[in-house]
Amino acid sequence: MGAQWVDDVLLAGAASDVCFRLPTPIDRGMLRRLVRDRQSELAESGLRPGGAAALRLPPSMAFITHLLAIWRSGGQAILLDHRLTDYEVRRAIERLVPQVVVSPDGPVPAGLRTFVEIDTDVASYSGHPANTAHAVVQLSSGSTGPSKVIGRTAEDLIEEVLRYTQIDGVPTRGERIILLPSMVHVLGLVGGLMYGLHAGVELVPPARLTGDAIVQAIASETSPATVLGVPFHIGLLASVQEPPRLPQFKRMTTGGELVPAAIAEAFVAKFGASLGNMYGMTEVGVIGTDLYGAHRPSIRPAPGIEVRAVDGELHIRRPESPYLGLSDPSRWSDGWLHTKDAGVIDPETGLVSIKGRLDSQVSVGGLKVDLTEVEYTIGTLRGVEAAVVVHDGAITAYVQLNEQRDVARIESDLAQLLASYKRPRSVRVLDQLPRTTTGKLVRDTTVLRKAAP
Q: Are 110 and 242 contained in the same domain?
A: no
Give residue 146's pLDDT: 52
Give residue 139's pLDDT: 79
Give residue 2's pLDDT: 66
Tell me the residue ranges of DSSP E strands in 320-383. Answer: 332-333, 336-345, 352-357, 361-364, 367-370
Q: Are 112 and 35 contained in the same domain?
A: yes
Give residue 87's pLDDT: 77
Q: Domain boundary residue among 152, 186, 217?
A: 152
- CATH number of the domain at 425, please: 3.30.300.30
Q: Are 403 and 427 contained in the same domain?
A: yes
Q: Are 180 and 238 contained in the same domain?
A: yes
10-residue averages of pLDDT along the chain (453 residues): 87 96 95 97 94 94 97 96 81 88 89 87 89 89 61 96 96 97 92 98 95 96 96 88 95 84 85 94 94 91 96 93 83 92 93 83 76 86 90 91 91 89 92 82 89 85
Give residue 370's pLDDT: 80
Dist. CA 351–CA 290, nearest whole Å: 10
Dist. CA 163–CA 124, nearest whole Å: 36
Q: Is residue 240 part of a domain?
A: yes
Dist. CA 160–CA 266, nearest whole Å: 32
* SS3 (DSSP) at 367: strand
CA 159 to chain centre: 18
Give residue 26's pLDDT: 97
What Rg value do the Cα atoms of the chain yield, rounded?
Answer: 22
336 bridge partner residues: 317, 333
* SS3 (DSSP) at 89: helix
CA 273 to chain centre: 21
Plot region of 10 (φ>0 → left; ψ -120 to 50 → alpha; else → beta): alpha
Give residue 366's pLDDT: 67
Q: Domain boundary residue among 258, 289, 305?
A: 305
- CATH number of the domain at 103, please: 3.40.50.980
Q: Are 166 and 97 contained in the same domain?
A: no
- pTM value > 0.95: no
Starting at the edge strand found earlier in the chain, the sheet holding 76-79 runs: 120-124, 100-104, 52-55, 76-79, 136-139, 149-152
* SS3 (DSSP) at 71: helix
Give residue 141's pLDDT: 54
Q: What domain range is 378 assigned to? A: 365-451
Dist. CA 136–CA 324, nearest whole Å: 12
Q: Are 172 and 136 contained in the same domain?
A: no
User: Sign of the C-alpha dihedral, residues 146, 82, 389, 374?
Assistant: negative
CA angle in degrees (0–180, nearest 5) for 327-328-332: 100
